[in-house]
Chains A and B, each alone.
Chain A
Amino acid sequence: MTSDVSGSAAPTPSGVGAAAASKQKGRSLLLTRRDKWILALLLGIPAFVHIFLVWVPTFASIVLSFTSWNGIGGLDRIKFVGIDNYRVLVTTYPPFWPAIQHNLIWLGVFMLIATPVGIFFAVLLDKEIRGTRFYQGALYLPVVLSLAIIGFIAQLFLSTDQGLINGVLASLGVKPVDWLGNSSLNLWAVLIFASWRQVGYVMILYLAGLKGVDPTLREAAKVDGATETQTFFRVVFPVMRPINIVVLVITVIESLRAFDLAFIINRGLNGLELLSVLVTNNIIGEASRIGFGSAIAVVLLVVAVGPIIVYLSRTLREEAR
């Protein structure tokens, strides 16, 4: 099948000839019967994959969120319970509201601190200062590490009895700080490590974008007497619109799917509750509350998709104007 697809995906000589001959006529005439089949196949396969790997599970999650099921036995043991899961979620389930709050804090820190810092570093490194390559490598390094490993590193630094920071504090005669156990501290401690990685990620994306900006634009701005700051905010930043959207979407997604660090450090308990961990604990854990976990997943889906749809639709409308 693959050879068939790749072999016939190239325009056939007759197709090219036909295209050249009938340029003014309707587009549909350009496609031979064979082209249509190929098109259907090429669109059909990805569409099929997309629907079955993305939309069917999503839809199934939404349906399951109105049910009660422990994942054991056939589908006939699934019981519909209406909006019960959602009611319990917002009224009784202790970690839910903390998780929402923590996800929002995570998002806020990424949006307001980590991402702008990453962009700032990218702009600095774009200036080809001495040692650029070294700084690039150093800043990008954490992105290469998996978040699970960063979780271990975080614990080596932050542990109360055996951690590096408390070791240093102790030698200075300061009482040890319970970074990981104090629920008003540990989220911020973890966010430092999460941001460490996010900064490098955004930096490398943005740096690639900056390299693609037409240098004549900057020269023109300079000739017009713009300062560096003005050049960036008035010329470079607007030109980089596609990259900005990518960075924004990545920032939202990275902060909403935050999972690994919290799970590695304390399985998302005590101050590190996150929606993604709650989904995992309910569905994958021994408890097997498939319906209830799905309800949390749906909340996460709405939270994740909502802002992106709003932003994209606004952007597209502006572009259409």
Chain B
Amino acid sequence: MSMSKPRLGRGLVALVAVALVVTACSSGASPAPATQAPAESQAAATQAPAESQAALGATTIRSNEHEPVPAASVKAMVDYCTAKTGVTAPVAITNHNDFQDQFNTFMQGTPEDIVKWFTGERLRFPARNGLLTPIDDVWQTIAANYTEGMAKASQGDDGMKYAVPIVSYPWVVLYRKSLFAEKGYTVPKTWDEFVALAQKMQADGLIPLAFGDKDGWPAMGTFDILNMRLNGNKFHLDLLAGNEKWTDPKVQAVFKKWAELLTYAQPDPLGRTWQEAAQAWANNKAAMYFLGTFASQQVAPENLDDVDFFPFPTLGTEWDSEMGIDAPVDAWILSKAPKNLPAAEAMLACFATPEAQLAFLGKDQSQIPAAKVTDTSAFTPQQMKMAEIIGASGGVAQFLDRDTRSDFAGAQGMQTLLQDFIKNPSQDLAAYTAKIQGVYDSLPPQ
């Protein structure tokens, strides 16, 4: 007996080793899900419901905001809505990137009632696949809070509403006021002014435009803005929806313009994350940075008031007046089979109010509420400007990876393809755009 036990153990070890080796070969590695257990929101326990709807009970929430500041924002908003509606809701948190990767699987399992997600094609895809509950009845009460553009962004293919947008932010050219004042630079409105300014900056020993695309997605913003300014918002969205062809000469014009822009951008962008590029800009090594306003997260707190921005310059086309822009929207959705539908809907309706969204933003100045805000007294000058820029745009897009199918936008599609262009901007654009179209055409029908 004393002999048989170790033998059995050794056999098992050997077996496990063999299994590990073979599975490692055939499946690569699979990252373990990094989910945290739900943390009961404290206020829910301590604050008494303000209104007499306590009968609604509790709902559940899954958030992908794992970093401290945004996680606190979610908590602030949920606390506000718990006080307002009497619905209690524990918030479970998953790491942002992991959640994105696991989303499809997660929504097919037993997800929480209310889930953090995006709008655009990224919303239409799960809606089309029956992973969400439509919330048209909620929208009947909240429609007045939103612009028509926001309402449209919350829609599925079937015209039903599936999301409650809460915050948004524009993609703009950021700069530091002190540097512009010191060097006597003025904000460029047109391409020619922009080029003249960039050349002046180069003469001053500055990098005109910070740029990093190691992550694969920041470059998409540049494609979006150039395409919208050259070819209009409608062509841009049709292209991303597959209704226009990448082989269209209009697309080649975008890359030609981009090649020109790259001569003013920070060199070697593919080895640099957006955070590192933002650091170069924040430290006055680069004078401007084209990114979402969240780039200011990389600026030291005492310099935040020094941050300013302007919309990407016009390119002298018929679309100049449209001022198309990327303004991604973060939203909350209702999962397929909510356990407590009335409570979840009451919570979502509360999320749709400007007050709840202001509670979400708190001290975060890098975004604005998605709902229409009548009393903007709480806004910082930057937030006023963001609202102004988005409001003045006649063509708001989400972002390339939210406006097109995810298997095309991801690492196996546009991320790789755009990096290919950045590596070699002088390549044969006809062949290059044909390659993009080839990848799009190889995808299975949706």
Binding site for B on A (CB under 8 A): 5-7, 9-10, 42, 46, 49-50, 53-54, 57-58, 61, 68, 70-73, 79, 81, 88, 92-95, 158-162, 176, 178-183, 186, 249, 253, 256-257, 259-260, 263, 266-270, 273, 275-282, 284-289, 291, 297, 300-301, 304-305
In the complex, the chain B residue whose C-beta lies closest to that of A47 is B15
Given A161-B279, A269-B419, is A284 in contact with B271 using a C-beta cutoff of 8 Å? no
Closest 3 CB pairs of A and B: A181-B271, A276-B28, A181-B270
- The contact sample of 16 A-B pairs, CB cut-off 8 A, is A10-B1, A57-B23, A72-B104, A72-B108, A93-B442, A95-B411, A161-B276, A186-B271, A257-B28, A263-B29, A267-B216, A269-B415, A270-B423, A281-B411, A284-B102, A287-B413
In the complex, the chain A residue whose C-beta lies closest to that of B105 is A71
Q: Quote the shortest CB–CB distance from A13 to chain B (angstroms).
A: 12
Q: How many residues of B contact A (CB 8 A)?
A: 61
Is B29 touching A95 in the complex (CB atoms < 8 A)? no
Q: How far is the CA of A70 from the CA of B129 in the complex (A)?
A: 10
Residue of B3, B18, B129 near A50 (CB, 8 A) is: B18
Is B439 touching A286 in the complex (CB atoms < 8 A)? no
In the complex, the chain A residue whose C-beta lies closest to that of B272 is A160
Chain B residues in 8 Å Cβ range of A73: 129-130
Q: How far is the CA of A285 from the CA of B103 in the complex (A)?
A: 9
Q: Report the stretch among B5-13, B38-46, B323-331 that lies at the interface.
A: B5-13
Residue of B29, B276, B439 near A259 (CB, 8 A) is: B29
Is A268 touching B411 in the complex (CB atoms < 8 A)? yes
Is A270 touching B12 in the complex (CB atoms < 8 A)? no
Chain A residues in 8 Å Cβ range of B108: 72
Chain B residues in 8 Å Cβ range of A183: 270, 423
Chain B residues in 8 Å Cβ range of A282: 407, 412
Binding site for A on B (CB under 8 A): 1, 3-5, 8, 11-12, 15, 18-19, 21-31, 100-105, 108, 129-131, 214-216, 267-272, 276, 279-280, 406-407, 410-413, 415-417, 419-420, 423, 435, 438-439, 441-442, 444
Given A94-B416, A180-B214, A289-B444, is A53 in contact with B270 using a C-beta cutoff of 8 Å? no
In the complex, the chain A residue whose C-beta lies closest to that of B271 is A181
Most B CB within 10 A of own CB, among A285, A297, A301: A285
Q: Quote the shortest CB–CB distance from B273 to chain A (angstroms).
A: 9
Residue of A72, A79, A259, A288 near B407 (CB, 8 A) is: A288
Chain A residues in 8 Å Cβ range of B102: 284
Is B26 touching A61 in the complex (CB atoms < 8 A)? yes
Given A53-B19, A160-B271, A180-B214, is A94 in contact with B420 using a C-beta cutoff of 8 Å? yes
Is A10 touching B3 in the complex (CB atoms < 8 A)? yes
Chain A residues in 8 Å Cβ range of B412: 93-95, 278, 281-282, 287, 289
Residue of B5, B11, B439 near A93 (CB, 8 A) is: B439
Q: How far is the CA of A73 from the CA of B130 in the complex (A)?
A: 9
Is A288 touching B104 in the complex (CB atoms < 8 A)? yes
Chain A residues in 8 Å Cβ range of B1: 6-7, 9-10
Q: How far is the CA of A72 from the CA of B423 in the complex (A)?
A: 36
Residue of A61, A276, A286 near B406 (CB, 8 A) is: A286
In the complex, the chain A residue whose C-beta lies closest to that of B405 is A287
Chain A residues in 8 Å Cβ range of B439: 92-94
Q: How far is the CA of A237 from the CA of B222 in the complex (A)?
A: 58
Is B28 touching A253 in the complex (CB atoms < 8 A)? no
Given A72-B131, A269-B419, is A161 in contact with B25 using a C-beta cutoff of 8 Å? no
Given A46-B11, A181-B268, is A10 in contact with B442 using a C-beta cutoff of 8 Å? no
Most B CB within 10 A of own CB, among A259, A266, A289, A300: A266
Chain A residues in 8 Å Cβ range of B420: 94
Q: How far is the CA of A297 from the CA of B26 in the complex (A)?
A: 6
Q: Quote the shortest CB–CB distance from A312 to chain B (angstroms).
A: 13
Chain A residues in 8 Å Cβ range of B413: 287
Given A70-B129, A88-B442, A268-B411, is A182 in contact with B271 using a C-beta cutoff of 8 Å? yes
Q: How far is the CA of A49 from the CA of B11 in the complex (A)?
A: 13
Is B19 touching A50 in the complex (CB atoms < 8 A)? yes
